[in-house]
Amino acid sequence: MNIIEIITKKKNKEELSREELEYAFLGYLNGKVCDYQMSSLLMAICLNGMSDDETFTLVDIFIKSGDVLDLSCIDGVKVDKHSTGGIGDKITLIIGPIVSSCGVIVPKMSGRGLGYTGGTIDKLESIDGFKVSLTEDEFINQIKDIGFAVTSQTSNLCPLDKVIYALRDVTGTTDSIPLIASSIMSKKIAGGADKIFIDIKCGIGAMMKNMEDALELKNIMERIGEHYNRETICEISDMNIPLGNNIGNSLEVIEAMDILKGKTGSLRDLSIKISTEMVRIAKGISESDALKEVLMVLDRGIAYNKFLEFVKYQGGDINSLKVSNNIQEIKSNKTGIVKSINALNIGKLSCSLGAGRESKEAPIDYSVGIVLNKLVGDEVSINDTLFTLYKKDNKDIDINVDDYYQINC
Ligand code: URA
């Protein structure tokens, strides 16, 4: 077998066998296939897709590339949640504390930023000392003690996804349904949860740009879940506009805390909706009973305290969060009502400020990002600040407001 033949086969839209997929993907993991060859194969997969058989096989190869956690030693139903990635999507940092405060166990394996979308692990690393890579024992002990833990893949869970994910991030190969489904579902299954909730983001700022693709992704992920006997619920949510006000790593942790402390708006609403669904499926109770529990832990500050406990448990110092002092306010050139905010352009801008990576080794600047001062539906006057940039340095950035905000006069 030969990697060039495998790439060529996919380029010619032929189906790859298990042996060929193993040869290419495991070969990449152990260094026999190099970056440029795997990039080429990933691009061929992006362009030509994969059959269901190939996708199921790839999930299996990803899972078997590392350990599979057995959480049966922990009492209770364990529910994991994952997002396909969006701009300003800090929901995991909100729902983890809420759902675990309701007595449901949330073992969470997360990733870094992908493309223009942020990742939970990068956000958590903006907290000094926060340990994102837990050993299996540390992960299990933390879940037993506080009901919620987040780990990256370094603890030998799906190591193949970790390397493929990093390569996809910098080779324009993120938005492929079979690659997303294999990446997410392998992590969720290896992570040991009994039930899985997937938030599929759909819209201009998401990998799934239209409802048809989002539904196809939902269908394949639910079938993978069924195959591994893990109840999997996928909900589709809007990503045409960024989620909440803050984009960028430290800024998003701050906003997650604000929501847990009572800030209202669409981010809180979506967090409540997802938490309610997770509590409902875990406890087998009605939606209204689940909602009551969720509101109770939010309103009484129990979920906020759980967040602080979680950060401390993983070694983080929450007072260490740094936001850049180099600020540039972007003003409105019209009077009217905000009709939409272009999530994709905001995501790209945030990455160009340094909040995301352009190459695998590129460091992230956790202190940079964007705050949206005006949201959809807000009234604005000429010269009002629409959004604020938090930059590495105080050099002015040339911004065409119309690329980001659509204002109806
Ligand atoms: N999240 C993942 O873990 N993988 C993807 O491919 C997309 C989002």
Phi/psi for 390 (5° steps) reads -110, 110
Could you tell me if 270 and 243 are in contact, meaning their C-beta atoms sit under 8 angstroms apart? yes
Instruction: Please give the share of the chain, as a percent, with pLDDT higher than 70.
Output: 99
The residues annotated with a catalytic role in the active site are 82, 161, 168, 183, 187
Q: Which pLDDT does position 392 carry in this prediction? A: 95
For ligand 1, say whether the CB of 84 is within 6 Å of any of its atoms. yes
For 311-349, the pLDDT digits (tens) are: 999 999 999 999 999 999 999 999 999 999 999 999 999
Query: Which tokens hold the place of 51?
Result: 């059959």
183 CB within 6 A, ligand 1: yes
Longest CA span, the chain: 65
pTM higher than 0.85 for the full model? yes
- For ligand 1, atom 2: residue with the closest CA: 184
**What gap in Å lies between CA 389 and CA 58, rounded to an integer?**
40
Tell me the CA–centroid distance for residue 335 and ligand 1, in Å. Answer: 39
What is the predicted pLDDT for the residue at 357?
84
Report how far residue 399's alpha carbon sits from residue 382's, in angstroms, rounded to the nearest whole number: 16
Could you tell me the distance, in angstroms and rounded to a whole number, from the CA of residue 145 to the centre of ligand 1?
28
Instruction: Please work out whether the CB of residue 180 comes within 6 Å of at least one atom of ligand 1.
Output: yes
Instruction: Determine whether the shortest distance from the Cβ of 248 to ligand 1 is under 6 A.
Output: no
Ligand 1 atom index nearest CA of 179: 6
Pairing state between β 148-151 and 246-247? unpaired
Per-residue pLDDT of the chain (409 residues; tens, 9 = 90+): 899 999 999 999 999 999 999 999 999 999 999 999 999 999 999 999 999 999 999 999 999 999 999 999 999 999 999 999 899 999 999 999 999 999 999 999 888 887 788 899 999 999 999 999 999 899 999 999 999 999 987 668 899 999 999 999 899 999 999 999 999 999 999 989 999 999 999 999 999 999 999 999 999 999 999 999 999 999 999 999 999 999 999 999 999 999 999 999 999 999 999 999 999 999 999 999 999 999 999 999 999 999 999 999 999 999 999 999 999 999 999 999 999 999 999 999 999 999 998 777 778 999 999 999 999 999 999 999 999 999 999 999 999 999 999 999 9
* Atom of ligand 1 at shortest range from CA of 174: 6
The H or E element spanning position 127 is: none
pLDDT digits (tens, 9 = 90+) for 90-130: 999 999 999 999 999 999 988 888 778 889 999 999 999 99
* Best CA proximity match to 255, nearest among 271, 239, 235, 236: 271
Question: Right CATH number for 324-408 from 3.90.1170.30, 3.40.190.10, 3.30.70.141, 3.40.50.620?
Answer: 3.90.1170.30
Q: For residue 7, report the distance from its CA to the centre of ligand 1, in Å.
A: 23
Q: Which atom of ligand 1 is nearest to the CA of 187?
A: 3
pLDDT of residue 88: 96
Q: Is the CB of 115 under 6 A from ligand 1?
A: no
- Contact present, 304 and 257 (Cβ < 8 Å): yes
Residue whose CA lies nearest to ligand 1 atom number 5: 180
Closest C-alpha to ligand 1, atom 6 = 180
Is the beta carbon of 120 within 6 A of some atom in ligand 1? Answer: no
Give the model's pLDDT for residue 296: 98
Instruction: Tell me how many helices (H) and strands (E) the chain has.
Output: 15, 12
Q: Cα(288) to centroid of ligand 1, in Å?
A: 31
What secondary structure letter does DSSP report for 404? T
Helices assigned H by DSSP within 118-244: 120-125, 136-146, 159-169, 177-190, 211-227
Report CA(84)–ligand 1 centroid distance (Å). Answer: 5
- CATH match of 3-49 with 3.30.70.1350: no
State the pLDDT at residue 343.
97
How is domain 79-319 classified at the CATH fold level? Pyrimidine Nucleoside Phosphorylase; Chain A, domain 2 (3.40.1030)
Say what the pLDDT of residue 64 is: 96
Distance of CA 183 from the midpoint of ligand 1 (Å): 6
Whole-angstrom distance, CA of residue 357 vs CA of residue 369: 13
Question: Is the distance from the beta carbon of residue 184 to the nearest atom of ligand 1 less than 6 Å?
Answer: yes
Q: Which atom of ligand 1 is nearest to the CA of 117?
A: 8
Q: Is 217 in the pocket of ligand 1 (CB under 6 A)?
A: no
C-alpha of residue 165 to centroid of ligand 1, in Å: 7
Instruction: Check pocket membership of 111 for ligand 1, CB cut-off 6 A.
Output: yes
Say yes or no: CB of residue 276 within 6 Å of ligand 1.
Answer: no
Q: What SS3 state is found at 11? A: helix
- The domain segmentation of the chain, as residue ranges, is 3-49, 79-319, 324-408
